[in-house]
Structure 1
Amino acid sequence: MPELPEVETVIRILNKKVKGLTIRKATITYPNLIKTDISIPEFEKELEGRKIDNISRIAKHIIFELQELVLISHLRMEGKWFVYEAGTQYEQKHVEAVFELSDNKLLVYTDTRKFGTLHLQEKSKFRTQKPIQNVGPEPFDSSLNGQYLMDIMSGSNKHIKTVLLDQTKISGIGNIYADEILFEAKIHPEKRASSLKLRNYEDILNASKRILKRSIELGGSTIDSYQPEQGIDGKYQNELKVHLRKDKPCFECGRIIQKIKVNGRGTYFCGECQN
């Protein structure tokens, strides 16, 4: 699943390629993609003629700004946005939406797992509506500090990894980066959030910012099928310290990396460094 660095990489690419262009025609080929309570023809009609003023994000949500409206895209497990020149031959099998743009461009959404979503909402109200209204702040938020994390997390008796994945508390962190963050912070993923001290939460926040920033610099992590654009992979997977490294030696202590399940999620850690 694309996490914060992958989504940030996608919006940077989309801004370079389609910002300022106008949607000439919108075609939705998979109706369940749309989560706004209007018909597909109405949805398509509402988009036509709208200029893409900007593309931003809130956590893992991509926000296409279209004058007084926003189109909110969540990629979920396998969603991808690709840009093609008009007339280009491309794989049609998993296409769910095609936007014909000015400047002879096509903006195409594909999703092999069909879990992705699109919401069309008023720009003045979308922050107070689902899916955005309950999204917590992300690690880069200037208002965040260790005390904030302790205040919102330490009341829970859940495992700290499970709490880190709760997008209402802190957003943008998924399974890959939760493992990496807890390794850098030297915290066992099964420790209870209620047992951690202020310094632990400060370490989690500092690790979050450093790891996510570095992953953005490298275009995210290509694991399974993530690609920020057609034919291009991210590179942060080459710097992963524990995630996907089961039975390999820890880079820091040499002990073998273990894999367990934490609340159903595959979780990698070093039993020596994280205790």
Structure 2
Amino acid sequence: MMLRVVLLTGLAMLAFAGNSLLCRAALSGTAIDASSFTALRLLSGALVLSLLVGLRQGARVGGDWYSALALFGYAAAFSFAYLQLDAGAGALLLFGAVQAGMLGYGWWRGERLSALQQLGLASAIGGLLLLLLPGASAPAPGSAALMLLAGACWAIYSLRGRGNRDPLAATAGNFLRSLPALLPLLLIFHRELNWDSLGAFYALLSGALASGIGYAIWYAALPQLRALQAASVQLSVPIIAALAGSLLLGEALTPRLLLASLAVLGGIALVLRVKARGTAA
């Protein structure tokens, strides 16, 4: 049983990092544009997730329109951000924004951090600021802002999905409900619409495999993981994306990215570890 959980969790993290790699590879190395990538990703994800739900006897898709809007905001901002971001830097910004958003929500609901947790949060924020400081290796400000927006949207989506009795059915429904929002996006950027077979292939892989199958695998592992374990294991995603981006896409592992990753991921790990000890007590 434990081996199964480890394998499922590892595959899910590879799928999450794969979204960053596939998006960056498509937008930097093929003719596809960000709007078309977003559309193909959401369409293929909706199809695969709906098929997975349909395979279960008596199951129906769920979800809601507010969550679908947050999902669309995440997917669109994610694609446009990767026009000028490396895979590793993008994943780090995304992950940092997601965790900051969820911690901020907890603070707003009355949760307070201990001194060590505050130190960890300060380290994470400092790491993001280090990455964003002007310089030769700093990410483009507009793209960085879009990725932070994508992280905020994903945090909202995640918070709205807490407590779903059937998260797979809810995600399938949210993907389906996100599709009408594609029409105004494609209309606004209709002059830039363009794609080739390789770019479309990457987008379909991102939607069907890294998103659709990836989410299904993650939901199969989640019941066997504690909430803090589930949060902690996602610390690996930016590291996987950065290393794979360097090996597969030829992206540079700059000292700034490495230091920022250490500060952000170490800080968040400290927050989660202290919280875990407090929960255990």
Give the shorter-chain TM-score range.
Answer: under 0.3
Specify which structure has the higher proportion of helix: 2
Q: Based on CA coordinates, which of the two structures has the bigger radius of gyration?
A: 1
Specify which structure has the higher proportion of strand: 1
TM-score by length of 2: 0.25
TM-score by length of 1: 0.25
